Amino acid sequence: MHPAHDQVRAIIWREDALELLDQRQLPGILAYRRLESAAEVAQAIRDMVVRGAPAIGIAAAYGVVLAARARYAESVDGWQALIAADLATLAAARPTAVNLFWALRRMEGVIAEQRSHPVERLLAEAQAIHAEDIAANQRMGKLGAALLTERGAVLTHCNTGSLATGGYGTALGVIRQGYAAGRIERVYADETRPWLQGARLTAWELVQDGIPVTLLADAAAAALMRQGGIRWVIVGADRIAANGDVANKIGTYHLAVAARYHRVRFMVVAPTATIDMSIASGADIPIEQRAAEELLTLGGQPVAAADAQAWNPSFDVTPATLVDALVTERGVALAPDAAKMARLMAGAA
């Protein structure tokens, strides 16, 4: 991949602390927050300083390192018991992204076998999780771009790039690779209400990397598809069930419905850490409900009638029957179903 199309990094371990690019302040302000405790990392995840399923998992892994340092200093013999509270705090930060729990389980495995001086070993594991994510994203970029057989435009939703991952991105990784290969001529990005991740983050990332991007209101996507020219909708995922149903940022489901009607193909790009084989279908995926104020206000200013109520799910579920291709670092499942998911995950074991 040409380095001009991969410039952004949102998660940095530096000088015994975690530095996170504060995504709430983009695109106007480029500011990193320095975090020195697990509680601060959990709060940053909750407050969406960092967001995107893979990035949340990586940040939580580094949060465990910070917790181990503090607990080992508190009690050389009892740190493993004390750190349980920190793990619970990190796990409770956000409920839908399965990568969070996957990363914590992996760090717990190291804790269980580490009796003394845990920080160095846990840091190595967190850094391995981070590096593996970038490598997986680059692999998915190649696999997904290979499906782009016709040159044209693509449409994406929310943010799935370096800001949402350890680097390079999932759906945006495919888009980066596809653009570099000459298969994508333009990216259309939904604004992604109510947090405007498409407007503030995806458009910003693509501008940084020199990839042509056109922003549209979420409600304009179907009209754009009807005009023709959109070859694929390419999105990420926060959790994928055993039958291939996909939980992703609210608004993904209506894109999938519109894409099927307009004969636009629909691609989901996510690492196998996002697949939760313990959940049979999307009906069982917990959907985070966020504060009404996110819809009723914008930048702290009211934008709705004073007594109006709000329904504000952060995610929706797209049935596997609307997914044309699921791209993972372990391979591609076309028209995924329970049997194909089982084969994919058996190969990932």
77 annotated active-site: no
Residue 12, C-beta contacts closer than 8 angstroms, at least 6 positions apart: 18, 19, 20, 32
pLDDT one-digit tens code per residue, 81-120: 999 999 999 999 998 778 999 999 999 999 999 888 999 9
Question: For residue 312, which of 295, 335, 337 has the smallest C-alpha distance?
Answer: 295
Q: Which of 190, 238, 316, 324 is catalytic?
A: 238
pLDDT one-digit tens code per residue, 39-67: 999 999 999 999 998 999 999 999 999 99
Which of these ranges, 85-89, 138-142, 268-272, 296-300, has the smallest mean pLDDT?
296-300
Q: What is the DSSP string of 230-290?
A: EEEEEE--SEEETTS-EEEETTHHHHHHHHHHTT-EEEEE--GGGEETT--SGGGS---B-
- pLDDT, position 3: 47
pLDDT one-digit tens code per residue, 6-26: 667 899 999 899 999 999 999
Tell me the pLDDT band of 347, cut-offs 50, 70 and 90.
confident
Question: For residue 163, which of 189, 142, 184 has the smallest C-alpha distance?
Answer: 189
Q: Say if residues 233 and 154 touch (Cβ distance below 8 Å).
A: yes
Q: Parallel, antiparallel, or unpaired: how do β-strands 325-328 and 265-269 relate?
A: parallel
Q: Which residue type does 99 have?
A: N
pTM: 0.91
Which of these ranges, 104-108, 144-148, 297-301, 320-324, has the smallest mean pLDDT?
297-301
How far apart are alpha carbons 345 and 331 in whole angstroms? 10
Q: What are the chain's domains?
A: 3-134 (1.20.120.420), 137-348 (3.40.50.10470)
CA-based max dimension of the chain: 66
Helix, coil or strand: residue 329: coil
- pLDDT, position 15: 86
